[in-house]
Each structure stands twice: as structure tokens, then as C-alpha cells.
Amino acid sequence: MAAVAGLFGAFSTVTKHFFEINQVSIDDWAFKLFYKWSTTLFIIASIAVTSKQFFGDPIECDPGHAKVDGAALEAYCWMYSTFNVPTHYKGQCSAGDYDYLDDDLLYNSYYQWVPLYLMSMSMLFYLPRVVWLKLEGGLMKFFCKGTRSRVVEEQDEKREKLVNYFQHHVRGRYDVYFFGFIVCELWNMINVLAFFLITDRMLNHRYLDFGIQVVEYYRLPSDERKLPWVKNPMCLTFPRIVSCDYYRYGLGGGQERINAICILTLNVINDKVFYVMWWWFSVLLLLCIFNFINRVCQSLSCGLRLALITLRLGRYLKNSPKREHIETFLRQCRLGDWFVIYQLCKNLRRPFFMECLTSISYMNDDKDVDSDVGENLISMVLRPDYVTQESEMPKD
């Protein structure tokens, strides 16, 4: 029972961390689809394509009547990954089903690189998260420390501290905070485009429309799929059956060639993995385009910025006696100020946040701001995070 309880506790901890339940949010759900869900997808796919216990050896070869060491033959064919398939070969899902410009069909050793490629992509998709963590610097955690519980202790003191810090250290200086996040979002879109282009190059230019072709093929009736001119795109990109020429020295001292038919068992999972990824990243690409348009509209429209915060606050803003003043402030504040406020709106309890927002809106005309704390991209990257700054502040 103790082991089961420990396992359940570990699972709950991992789940809570993965879904960021009751944690401070420094980005949004769309951003999480890239650094969290896409990275996880790459790692799971990398594990799947290296799991022999589920799919067997990656390659198995049949040399026919020739007497040859099977392990050596399979290691040779797998290592060099050059498969010469006769066009008249009629095996199912074989590379010989397709007509090419020459008689030889060359598959480079991308099979060997697939796990490493997937892991590299997982790191590439996590890089924008690392950069944003550095740019954000723990600002939200600094603001939310001790203010996220249902009952905030010493509420007036903490509200005054939050409002004063915003007024003297954030207001008018954090446009780079907003545009830095946009740059990280654009980086996500570049990563998606890089995935499609690099994968297409790795798969011999057969991936850009791979998902569409597979859907069109399987939408055909089963009898039409058997027609000689109808080709399965999965077999084109990931053939199961290929032919390998193995060269060795015979008993007479001369070199002899042994042709073997090889089954690429690994492609049983490779085609599914890359098919799922094609649709996943196609959706993410559309999301990137929509998100970019949304950010442009946010930058240009103060009405949209106000609507987003109003949507989150609901009746708290609607019933506030200071509603008109708050809305005027939100329309007139700089982009960086609005974005910090919007992030705080997602993390703080709404009654406490409304009190803070009301105080901030009435301090908007105060010009008593420190002149030496301006933020730019370089200063945001080089400065220590807010937790470190707070620990280094002198104690009263």
C-alpha cells in the first residue's frame, strides 16, 4: 500500500507540475503548446522509435539461399542504408512499387538519425521558454508572493508594496517585456517552419504534403487503393520492404555480391510518428499565424486590450464604482504596462487584483518615478532575477 501511495503521489506531483496547476503563469496556453506539449511529443516519439521490445529489431534481412551471417548482413544494410530495389518487385509496401528517374532508390541513413533528430527538436522547441524565463526574470513570482491565497494576510501592506513597485520600477519601462514575449512567440513559429523544412529534406522531399496525401489515400475505397497507379504515400516515404546488396569475399578469394530482401520494421512506427507530428505542427502553424495577428491587433487597439482584461475581471470591474477611471487608465497605459497588468490579472485573486488595479490607475498621473531603473533588452537579460534581488535587499 505504501508503494502504491508513493506512486500515486509521484504521479500527482508530475501531473500538477506538467499542467501547472495552482502555479504562477508567466505565459499563456498557446505558448505552452510549444515548450511543454511539443517537447513532450518529441521525447515520447524518440522513446517509441527506440523501443525494440514493442516493434522488434529495426531491420531484418533475408538473403535467400545464400549462406551468410544474418547479424553481419543486417548490421551492414542498416549501417549503410543504401537500398537498391528493382522496379518489378511486387512486395507489399515496398520501394519497388514506385517509378523514379533512375533504377536505384537511395535512402540515406536518416533511419539512424531519427531518435537523435527528435531529441534535438525537443531542445530546439524548449529554447524560447529558456529565453523567456530569463527575460521575465521572476517578475510574476515577485508580485504574486503571498498574494495568491484566498485570504491575503496583511493585505493593505502587500497591496501598497505591489502598487509602489509597479509605479516606480515597471510603469513606462516594460514595453520590452511585451515585445520580448512576441519575439519568443515568433521564435516558436520559426521552429515549426524549421521542423517542416528539415524533416522534408531528411525524408528526401516527401514530407511537406505528407499528411494531406495520407488522408486522400485512405479516403479512397479499398478496391481503388489496389489499382496499380494508386500509391500509398506512407510506403513512398517509409517503405517497409527494400533490397540490399551485401559484398563479401567468397571461398575463391574473389568478391561476391549477395542481394537480400530487408524488412524495415522500424518504419511501422516511423510513419505513424511523423504522420501525427505533421498534423500537430500544421495546427500549431495556423495557431502561430492567428496568434501573431492577435498580437498586432493588441498593439494597435486599446479597445481590444481593455476587452481582454474586462473579460477576465467580469463583474468585479463591471460593479466597481471606479470603473470609468480604470477603463480610461487601461486605454491610455503603455503596452508594457498593460501586459504586466494582464499577466497579474491571470495570477492574482480578482478581489485583491481589483484593489491593486484601482490604486495603480489613480497613481497613473504621479511623475515621481526613479530615473535610473529603465529597462531595455540588455538590462533585462543581464540583471538578476527578482527573487535574487529581493534576497539581497537590506533588512529593516
Query: What is the Cα 183 distance to its own chain's centre?
Result: 15
Any domain includes 263? yes
What band does 104 get if pLDDT is binned at 50, 70 and 90? very low
So what's the pLDDT on residue 53? Answer: 56
So what's the pLDDT on residue 181? Answer: 93
Name 356's Cβ contacts closer than 8 Å, sequence gap at least 6: 159, 162, 163, 166, 344, 348
Any domain includes 244? yes
pLDDT greater than 90 at residue 246: no
**Greater pLDDT, 247 or 357:** 357
Lowest mean pLDDT among 9-13, 146-150, 241-245, 284-288: 9-13
Which amino acid makes up residue 138? Answer: G
Q: What whole-number distance in Å separates Cα of residue 145 and Cα of residue 24?
A: 10
So what's the pLDDT on residue 100? Answer: 46
So what's the pLDDT on residue 372? Answer: 41
Any domain includes 6? no
Share of the chain above pLDDT 90, in %: 32
Place of cell 522534408: 200
Any domain includes 13? no
Identify the burial level of 280 via C-beta atoms within 10 angstroms of its C-beta, where 0-12 means exposed, 13-18 middle and 19 or more buried: middle
Any domain includes 382? no
Mean pLDDT comparison of 10-19, 82-91, 256-265, 299-308, highest-scoring range: 299-308
Task: For residue 12, give the 3-state DSSP assignment.
Answer: helix
Q: Beta-carbon neighbour count of residue 18 at 10 Å?
A: 12
pLDDT tens for residues 48-91? 888 765 666 788 888 887 888 888 888 888 777 666 565 666 66
What band does 329 get if pLDDT is binned at 50, 70 and 90? very high
pLDDT tens for residues 115-174? 889 999 999 999 999 999 998 888 888 888 877 777 777 788 888 888 888 988 888 888
Domain count along the chain? 1
Any domain includes 314? yes
What band does 396 get if pLDDT is binned at 50, 70 and 90? very low
Any domain includes 14? no
**Greater pLDDT, 111 or 7:** 111
Q: What whole-number distance in Å separates Cα of residue 280 and Cα of residue 286?
A: 10
What band does 4 get if pLDDT is binned at 50, 70 and 90? very low
**Structural domain boundaries enclosing 145:** 24-371
The alpha helices in the chain, defined as continuous H runs, are: 2-18, 29-32, 39-48, 52-55, 70-80, 110-136, 139-144, 155-165, 175-202, 210-218, 222-225, 233-237, 267-300, 302-313, 315-318, 323-332, 335-347, 350-362, 377-382, 386-392
**Greater pLDDT, 115 or 15:** 115
So what's the pLDDT on residue 371? Answer: 40
Any domain includes 19? no
